[in-house]
């Protein structure tokens, strides 16, 4: 009976220094020498599957069926007992190698230092804003507004005019209680419109110096953006533009604004109009006072005296009432004084109702206005006019003004018509 057997073993590292290749089997002949046997192939041509971890299988061992896998301990016991006659310096040496390959690597216990959580440093705070030695931030902003207009007037034979009415760039700087403004109009013959310094002091006081609007006439002090008309009308044109009462001048004012600005008193001195030929000191004075007893109502008065130290020939006083609330804006202003042509009286009225559409993004505001101007002595003249139109606004940066006017200005033989449209934008 055949006494040879096959064992699994080999050199797991394939070093060639002893043993057999992994998965190879050996047959022990009668002389006690282990002889390698060829690979056993399966039906698919792949090497026969072996037991996990290099475990040997016995073949032709007495008392064991061929091709029957047995535990490793039984195979080792049979080999050591010499039942197959194998030499102890070769075959048994292959078995510990198989066991070494099968035994898992010992796990190392985690040290207490490794299990201790590493503290995470807190996030760094954002850097503080740059501040000056006085502890105040300097805030500089740039604004701009552009007005493109088209107009036609019956007095000029309905000649159509198209042009850039305004192209203003404003640089505003705030430093604590101080504010400086420089505004230039690139579409005007006088590019510098405003250039002043304003300082808010204690006890609701305010000082302003530079070139800015004198505190006279509510309509004159209304900005072009807020004004619902294409122009300020015949009264402003005759009193302010033609007779140089109010408007932008070089000067300085002081103001008190108690009750969180709901009341204001302002007065100042301004340079006279260069075309004034009355002589004397070229100084004008202006003053204004207003109060808002309720948030939607403002009552005010203003006065302007030109060339006060040189025998003034031009002066005017005005009073106004303004209502703004519940989508309605209305303004009444009366004016009286003396111009170069003699005493005058004037009045203006304006009303506007705003309708909001598309969740307030689109606003449509019909506008109606009326004006009256009368010169009572000397060159007697009378002017009056009515205005109708609308303002269409998209958000707060785009406006379209439509205006129709029928007016008789001082010197006209009768009323004349005029139409105008203006597109305005700002940033």
CA–CA separation, 360 and 354 (whole Å) = 10
Q: What is the CATH number of domain 138-426?
A: 2.40.160.10
Q: What is the pLDDT of residue 380?
A: 76
Distance CA 10, CA 19 (A): 4
pLDDT score for 376: 85
Look at residue 272 in the predicted model and tell me its pLDDT. 84
The Cα 427–Cα 414 span in angstroms is 42
Domain spans in the chain, listed from the N-terminal domain onward: 6-102, 138-426
pLDDT of residue 413: 86
pLDDT at 218: 96
For position 10, what pLDDT does the model report?
Answer: 46
Do 266 and 254 form a contact (C-beta atoms < 8 A)? yes
Q: What is the pTM of this model?
A: 0.66
Strand pairing of 342-353 and 355-357?
A: unpaired
pLDDT of residue 393: 97
Rounded mean pLDDT for each run of 10 residues along the chain, 427 residues in total: 43 43 51 54 43 43 47 47 43 40 45 52 55 65 96 94 95 95 94 96 96 96 95 93 93 96 96 62 88 95 80 85 95 95 94 96 97 84 94 96 94 92 96
CA distance 338 to 290: 23
Buried b (16+ CB within 10 A) or exposed e, 207-235: ebebbbbbbbbbbbebebeebbbbbbbbb
CA 94, CA 98: separation in Å to the nearest integer? 7
């Amino acid at each position: 009976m055949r006494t040879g057997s096959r064992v699994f073993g080999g050199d797991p590292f394939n070093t060639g220094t002893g043993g057999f290749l992994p998965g190879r089997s050996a047959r022990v002949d009668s002389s006690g020498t282990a002889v390698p046997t060829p690979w056993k192939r399966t039906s698919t041509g792949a090497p026969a599957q072996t037991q996990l971890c290099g475990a040997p299988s016995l073949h032709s061992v007495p008392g064991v069926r061929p091709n029957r896998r047995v535990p490793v301990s039984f195979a080792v016991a049979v080999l050591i007992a010499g039942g197959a006659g194998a030499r102890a310096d070769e075959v048994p040496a292959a078995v510990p190698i198989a066991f070494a390959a099968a035994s898992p690597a010992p796990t190392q216990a985690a040290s207490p230092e490794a299990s201790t959580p590493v503290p995470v440093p807190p996030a760094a705070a954002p850097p503080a804003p740059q501040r000056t030695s006085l502890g105040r931030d300097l805030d500089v902003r740039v604004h701009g507004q552009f007005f493109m207009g088209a107009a036609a007037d019956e007095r000029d034979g309905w000649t159509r005019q198209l042009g850039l009415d305004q192209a203003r760039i404003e640089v505003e700087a705030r430093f604590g209680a101080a504010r400086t403004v420089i505004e230039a109009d690139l579409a005007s013959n006088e590019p510098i419109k405003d250039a002043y310094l304003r300082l808010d002091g204690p006890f609701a006081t305010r000082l302003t110096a530079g070139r800015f609007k004198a505190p006279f006439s509510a309509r004159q002090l209304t900005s072009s953006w807020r004004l619902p008309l294409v122009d300020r009308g015949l009264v402003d044109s005759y009193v302010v533009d033609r007779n140089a009462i109010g408007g932008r001048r070089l000067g300085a004012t002081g103001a008190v604004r108690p009750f969180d600005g709901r009341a204001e008193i302002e007065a100042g001195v301004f340079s006279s109009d260069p075309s004034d030929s009355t002589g004397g000191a070229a100084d004008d004075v202006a003053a204004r006072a207003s109060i808002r007893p309720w948030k939607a109502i403002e009552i005010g008065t203003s006065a302007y005296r030109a060339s006060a130290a040189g025998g003034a020939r031009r002066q005017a006083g005005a009073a106004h009432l303004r209502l703004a609330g519940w989508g309605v804006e209305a303004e009444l202003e009366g004016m009286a004084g003396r111009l170069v042509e003699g005493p005058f009286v004037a009045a203006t009225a304006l009303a506007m109702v705003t309708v909001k559409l598309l969740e307030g993004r689109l606003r449509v505001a019909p506008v109606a206005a009326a004006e009256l101007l009368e010169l009572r002595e000397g060159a007697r003249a009378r002017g009056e006019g009515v205005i109708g139109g609308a303002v269409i606004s998209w958000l707060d940066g785009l406006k379209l003004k439509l205006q129709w006017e029928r007016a008789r200005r001082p010197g006209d033989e009768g009323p004349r018509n005029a139409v105008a449209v203006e597109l305005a934008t700002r940033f």
